Chains A and B, each alone.
Chain A
Amino acid sequence: MHSYKEYVALMELHDKVEVDRLIEVMNMFVGKIYQRPPLRSSVKRSLRVKEVYSIEVLEIEDGKHVLFKVRCESGTYIRKLCHDIGLLLGVEAHMRELRRTAVAHIREDLPVVTMHEVSEALYLHRKYGDETLIRKVVLPGEFIVAHLPRIIVKDSAVGAITHGAQLAAPGVVALSNDVKKGDRVAIFTLKGELIAVGKSVMDVDEIMKSEKGIVANIERVVMQPNIYPPMWRKAKKAEGS
C-alpha cells in the first residue's frame, strides 16, 4: 500500500575509506538496484529490483561510521544496502542502527510522540478528565489515508457501504480530480469521516456522467455500521424484496 519509505541509518565500515570514494560508491546505489532479501527477512529470498530515490550522507565519524538518509521504495532492505555498499568499497560494512523517518506521507514532521507522552495524556484524561493532550497525541485515523484520492458520499449511502455494499453512482457528492480507474480511493462522508477504502472502477469523467452503476469496489470498511441510518432498506421494500 505504501510505496515510499525514508530511513536514517548508521553504517559501520570495517576499514577507513576516503570520503570521495565513499560518496561515489553510495551514489551508485541510487536508482534501480538488484537486491536479494537478507537471510533474516520476512519475504521470499529471490533477487528483485528495488528503487532507491536518494542517498544523502549526513555525517562521517572516524572514517568508518557513516550516518545517512535514504529514500527508497517500500521493501528495500537497508541492512542489505549497507552490506552491498561495503562489498563494492572492498572493505565490507554492516548496518549498526536504523530509524524509519517516513512511510509515504506519514513523516516525522507530524507531532511524533513517545510512549511517555502517551501515558501522560491518558493519565491527565483519567485522573482529571482533561482530553486536550489525548487529542494532540492521538490523531484522527483519517490522516493515514490522506495520500489517497477521495470520493465524498451522501449520508444515505453511508449505511449501505458499512453493511457491505459497493459504492454506486447516485451516492457520490464530490470527488478529487486525481481519482483514476483501477486505483485505490478513500470514501468519505460529508463530515470528513473515513468510511472505507476501495478501488475505483471509473475515471473522474465517467463518475461525473454516470447516473447508476458501481463506482468503486469496497476493499475495507473502516467505519462501524449503524452510525448512519440504513436508507437503502426503504428502496428494497418498495421493490417488493
Chain B
Amino acid sequence: MNIESEKGFNFLKKLDEIAGKTRNYIVKSEAETDPRYGFYPPERPIDIYISYGFIPLDKPPGPTSHEVVAWIKKMFGVSKAGHGGTLEPKP
C-alpha cells in the first residue's frame, strides 16, 4: 500500500463512519495507485472538486427544490446538478 492508497482507504473508513456502518475490508490482491492519475477526493483541484461535489442544503420553504437547483447551477456556473427528492410536488 502506498501513501495515496492509504489516504484513500482512510477516506473510505470516514464514509463508513458517516453511514454509521462498521465494515471490514477483505483484500483480494495487493495493488498501489499511481499518483499521476485522479485525486484524493477532499484534495481535488477546486473546479473538479465542485463538479463532483454535493451540498447538504437547508432549503427554506417557498422556493421549490427545482428552483433551488437552478440557482445553484447558475451560481457555480455548472451545467449539471440535481437534488435528493421533492417533499411535496407542486400542482
Which A residues contact B (CB, under 8 angstroms)? Answer: 2, 40-42, 79, 97-98, 100, 103, 105-106, 108, 110-115, 118-119, 122, 125, 131, 134-135, 137-147, 149-150, 152, 154-155, 158, 172-178, 188-194, 204, 207-208, 222, 227-229
Contacts and interface: CB of A to CB of B under 8 A. Distances in A.
A173 B8 CA distance: 13
B15 A143 contact: yes
B79 interface: no
Interface of A is mostly: mixed
B81 to A, nearest CB: 11
A143 B49 CA distance: 13
Interface string B22-34: 0111111111111
B39 A173 contact: no
Contact of B89 (A42, A140, A154): A42
Contact of B12 (A2, A188, A227): A188
Nearest to A104: B19
B34 A155 contact: yes
B41 A204 contact: no
Q: How large is the interface on B (under 10, 10 to 19, 20 to 34, 35 or more residues)?
A: 35 or more
A27 to B, nearest CB: 24
Contact of A146 (B4, B18, B30, B46): B18
A134 B46 CA distance: 8
Contacts of B20: 105
Interface string B1-45: 000110111111001101111011111111111100111111010
Contacts of B28: 172-175, 207-208
B18 A143 contact: yes
A105 B21 CA distance: 10
Contacts of B18: 105, 110, 143, 146
B56 A192 contact: no
Contacts of A100: 85, 87
**Which 9 residue pairs across A and B have the least CB separation, nearest first?**
A192-B8, A192-B11, A190-B33, A138-B53, A140-B41, A146-B19, A146-B15, A190-B5, A191-B8
A112 B55 CA distance: 8
A40 B19 contact: no
A177 B23 CA distance: 6
Contacts of A119: 75
Given A40-B88, A105-B18, A112 B58 contact: yes
Interface in B43-62: 44, 46, 49-50, 52-61
B53 A42 contact: no
25 contacts: A40-B88, A110-B56, A112-B58, A114-B60, A119-B75, A122-B76, A135-B46, A141-B53, A142-B41, A143-B18, A145-B15, A146-B16, A146-B18, A149-B23, A173-B29, A174-B26, A174-B28, A175-B28, A176-B24, A188-B8, A189-B38, A190-B4, A190-B32, A204-B26, A227-B37
